[in-house]
Structure 1
């Protein structure tokens, strides 16, 4: 919260000072009205001067108009300062969120970051606005009211002063207890947002499995937790208003009794008693405003701490100078254009390694296929390559440089990437491919052609327009993947990472896509991560992972001879027996046909078309089917 006040409000100190001055004058005008009323009742009316009555009546009207005008101006200035300061806070918070590492994002959790950007910034906005409005006016009315009552009648004012310390004690005690409760409420709200986000995203799965009642019960549990936290916080803070009302009303009763006694004794006047009761009402309203402000401040302090936690989060992936070359990488390899993994070890939880002692190299323009079971570390390899996370041991070289020596923007501009479960945004097809980069229309159209997406995107433009729904809900799985691939290809990257990006493509489209990659991206170093053997068998190198360890590395032919796991994958996906001569490209069967984007028709891999018929292996069952 200190950072918000000292940094984000600093540029507005001048405007806030002017607003405070205007608010001060308006509040003083409010305080003058009861004083003038008392003077008119006790001095002007008994004198019987109609001219004096009109004069002082005009003074009261002038004070009223001035108070209204100044308060409106000050409130408008306060609203502008609050909205502009919050806009900057929200901008910086969003920018910092965008630059958090994957580890930091997982630590905060995405629902919590969403809550900080929305609910927490709203609470801070309310606090900044209220402090400028009530934070100035209420104390002025409170202190000014006490001063004016002391000037009118010190004896009656002393009755009021007896109540003030008790009120201050109650406000302090309740606020001290309420602040932690609001922190718990925010944490519960994070869990609530998390559950709602997951259920809305997975609503089709929930319906398909008829788990609506199960999810409703989960929702009710989290909802009840939020309600309980909210009730505890609100019930605690709800003590303030009744307690203050009771104390101030008791004080008012004391003032009336004491005032009546003093008027009867001739030591006070009726006008002063009326003015005193007006001031007491002003003081009561000021105290009520302060109590409401304490509630807002409690929320804002809890929210401000959560915002500051993100803003103060230091970059855990700083750019470093290149370290010493490891013994396993010679000078020739280190100087090569391409990718080198040098004894790389990484763990997400820092206890159990997700990748272990991984070493290999891929030259510029070559393709590396990465295959392995789910959880074997394929996606982690891509994250390390793009420095979304940092290695624990070893290093990764890009064109002879350690990835940690690049500025993040410089490094990631070298890549075109399609992640698993990547995102389609609610925007046009062209903007989903462009993604804010300096790409012209021709670049985007070519990328759509290369990605085999030009045909259906052209139809969309002609029929229903080129706008896409959130997460590409109006696209099929294969259409989404082709747009995502076009996005990765559009800037002609030096390095292309395709993480299971063709799983929803039919074999013919897959074959055509890889043919386009070979023809138009010869100088692009490609990392092809896949579950399907047909997607990687044509690669220059194939890396086989199991439980984070490299158990095979080489060409398709080499792995067919040396890697049992690779042979097992072949058998499980195609039913082919490498020993009997029916493996890919060998024997008479040619289970996946001919062309898979590698050489002319007749070479291994790919789609075969003979006399209008084609056959492909079914990865799920090892069967063949006619296209």
Structure 2
């Protein structure tokens, strides 16, 4: 957690103000029992009303000063805590944005969401409570202890006996609860995962009548969180009754021995009352520290999880001194092999081919043959385990990531739209695109027809995940987003699968003219989509088993022949 606290440096001036305010507030609290003692010993015993009123007025002013400091302290600590959590959340989000897909998969989406929200909230709470309690409590304990000893050193022995007992109790309970809180955060990850899957897959769940099964799965995850939280909180909850028991026993002991000393003339009644107040201040300060120890184990577990994200070194790093490309739109794979984390075999092996501007390179093959893996390596979502992926004659690992991706128009396998208007989504491709460019991109993507029928046209709202448009409409808007960019390289990852054959054909015809000076690489399942490609790569079990035009592969490649036969009627392949 100390590593995270380095983020408090920008708030050093505010923290210094808080320290001063906490010190003043603590001193005022320590002064009040002394003033009360003087009122009892002098004013009440001697019946001196003016003295009582005078000292009472001073007590009132001291109390008002302490109250003002406490209010201001609360305001500043809240400002520091919220600012710190905002900065930390920004750091975590920025770090996650730098991760390759390998790191994202390693942590898991649900876990990264938990770490960015729940875990940071736990640390934020501790920061606020520490400045309110961890600073004032030790000052109060030391100050009250000194004043109690000054009042009566014999009675102070009760305090010296009690404090070690309390500290030992806190340490024992905290030792058992720390592992519990670590487990609880992992169970929250699991709960978030179940909720996220249920929300994103609600239609599939309903159509297969799995609502009750998913409810059971959620209940299991929720009960697991509840079970561990209950055990941990029972242990921590035992602290408060124990502390109150020790406090009451201590007060009884002070009154007992204090009464004996008053009877012998060694102690005055006002001093005994002040001593009891100092004892109470010490005990309540220890109670505040106890509350901190309730929070610290969970915050420590959260801090470890946050640091895991911040300290993770991305496997894909943009080079500081990137090479400048001499070519434009040229893509080449040289003996490339790649495997996913934890897989026993490579997803693709010994892949070699080139794609030039003005050409359409299509990749076809069965499910799991490695088609999308090839495409994902061009924008450097993953790095090659062996071989080189070259863009414009330069290994992508030696190019600046931002410059590399600025050359690419990418349409993912699963069309992704963002909350906002249609215009906002198209502008993801080119921030300064004009209305004419947006409309042109929609024309090319065959999206103008349905967009024009929407009430507000390109200003129409897209809901989260694009749930208010069909799958084919999402694909066409995703294609328009890539087209408006006018990139050197177009990557289509099975981006026509939701389109009917007529729309597919019209779109490809429009794209052919639009992309005539660019390199186009298409991953597709349909033979009709790849028939007109300059070059077709046939994939099987992660390897290229055929390369050529449609006509050439029909004559020479058995796997391609099987794909064609399964999709096209006899005579259509001619």
CA distance in 1, matches of 2:531, 2:228: 56
1:477 to 2:476 alignment: no
Change (3 A) 1:536 1:65: same
CA contact (8 A) 2:493 2:524 kept: yes
Q: Within 5 Å, give how 1:295-310 maps onto structure 2.
A: 295-310=294-309
Displacement after TM superposition at 1:41 (Å): 0.2
Change (3 A) 1:399 1:190: same
Q: Within 5 Å, give how 1:27-426 maps onto structure 2.
A: 27-319=26-318, 338-348=330-340, 349=342, 351-426=344-419
Q: Deviations over 1:214-240 (max 9, x none)?
A: 222222222221112212221222222
CA distance in 2, matches of 1:398, 1:204: 41
1:574 to 2:573 alignment: no
CA distance in 1, matches of 2:108, 2:90: 19
Displacement after TM superposition at 1:542 (Å): 0.6
Alignment RMSD: 1.8
CA distance in 2, matches of 1:36, 1:443: 79
CA contact (8 A) 2:421 2:458 kept: no
Displacement after TM superposition at 1:315 (Å): 2.4
Task: Report the TM-score when normalising by structure 2.
Answer: 0.96
Displacement after TM superposition at 1:350 (Å): 5.2
CA distance in 2, matches of 1:445, 1:143: 73
Q: Paired residue for 1:442? A: 436
Q: Deviations over 1:339-385 (max 9, x none)?
A: 11111111113531100111111111211111111111111111111
1:557 to 2:551 alignment: yes
Q: Paired residue for 1:548? A: 542
Q: Paired residue for 2:426? A: 433
Q: Deviations over 1:447-469 (max 9, x none)?
A: 11111112211222448960011
* Structure with larger RCO (C-alpha < 8 A, sep 6+): 2
Displacement after TM superposition at 1:431 (Å): 0.5
Match of 2:266, SS?
Answer: coil
CA contact (8 A) 2:423 2:458 kept: no
Match of 2:99, SS?
Answer: coil
Match of 1:523 among 475, 493, 517: 517
Displacement after TM superposition at 1:320 (Å): 5.5
Displacement after TM superposition at 1:152 (Å): 1.3
Displacement after TM superposition at 1:299 (Å): 1.6
Q: Paired residue for 1:5? A: 5
Q: Deviations over 1:24-63 (max 9, x none)?
A: 1011101111110011101222333322222101110011
Q: Deviations over 1:217-272 (max 9, x none)?
A: 22222222111221222122222212212222221111111111111222111111
Q: Please list every run of 5 or more consecutive structure 1 residues that lacks an aligned counterpart in the other structure.
A: 324-333, 577-581, 587-627
CA contact (8 A) 2:140 2:282 kept: yes
CA distance in 1, matches of 2:399, 2:215: 48
Displacement after TM superposition at 1:322 (Å): 11
Displacement after TM superposition at 1:145 (Å): 1.8
CA distance in 1, matches of 2:246, 2:415: 61
Displacement after TM superposition at 1:336 (Å): 8.2
Match of 1:506 among 500, 503, 525: 500
Q: Deviations over 1:389-414 (max 9, x none)?
A: 11011111111111111111111111
CA distance in 1, matches of 2:163, 2:366: 71
CA distance in 1, matches of 2:321, 2:555: 39
Change (3 A) 1:166 1:306: same
CA contact (8 A) 2:422 2:459 kept: no
Match of 2:490, SS?
Answer: strand
CA distance in 2, matches of 1:529, 1:475: 23
Match of 2:155, SS?
Answer: helix
Change (3 A) 1:336 1:53: closer
CA distance in 2, matches of 1:483, 1:540: 26
Task: Report the TM-score when normalising by structure 1.
Answer: 0.88
Match of 1:553, SS?
Answer: strand
Q: Please list every run of 5 or more consecutive structure 2 residues that lacks an aligned counterpart in the other structure.
A: none
CA distance in 2, matches of 1:381, 1:250: 73
Q: Deviations over 1:79-130 (max 9, x none)?
A: 1111111111101100111111111111111100000010011011111111
CA contact (8 A) 2:99 2:316 kept: no
Counting matched residue pairs gives: 569
CA distance in 2, matches of 1:93, 1:321: 22
CA distance in 2, matches of 1:319, 1:464: 35
Change (3 A) 1:532 1:355: same
Match of 2:135, SS?
Answer: helix
Match of 2:532, SS?
Answer: coil
Change (3 A) 1:551 1:463: closer
CA distance in 2, matches of 1:406, 1:308: 29
Match of 2:59, SS?
Answer: helix
Match of 2:462, SS?
Answer: coil
Change (3 A) 1:464 1:96: closer
